[in-house]
Amino acid sequence: ETGAELVVSGGDPSAPNPMLNVHNTQPPIDNLALVQNTSAIGVPGTFINRETGEAFEELFLVPFFIQKSRTLWPRGFARDRSPDCSSDNGDVAVNILPNGEIPLYPGATCEDCVHNFPKWEPREGLEPCAPGHTVLFYDIEAYSVTRMRFSGTGNRIVDRILKKPQVFQKQVVRIIAVKQTSDVGSWWQDVGTATGEITDAQRANILALGQQFLPPDTSTQAAA
Q: What is the pLDDT of residue 56?
A: 94
List average pLDDT for each run of 10 residues in the chain, which is 224 residues long.
34 42 57 87 91 93 92 72 86 88 92 90 90 91 88 91 94 95 86 94 82 49 31
Q: What is the pLDDT of residue 3?
A: 36
Contact 12, 224 (CB under 8 A): yes
pTM: 0.76
Q: Which of 45, 20, 44, 49 is nearest to 33 (CA)?
A: 49
Q: What is the pLDDT of residues 189-200, one digit of tens each?
A: 999 999 999 999
List beta partners, residue 30: 146
Chain centroid to Cα 94, Å, comes to 16
What is the spatial distance between Cα 180 and Cα 64, in angstroms, rounded to a whole number? Answer: 28
- Secondary structure tally for the chain: helices H, strands E: 2, 9
Q: What is the pLDDT of residue 26?
A: 57
What is the spatial distance between Cα 66 and Cα 190, in angstroms, rounded to a whole number? Answer: 16
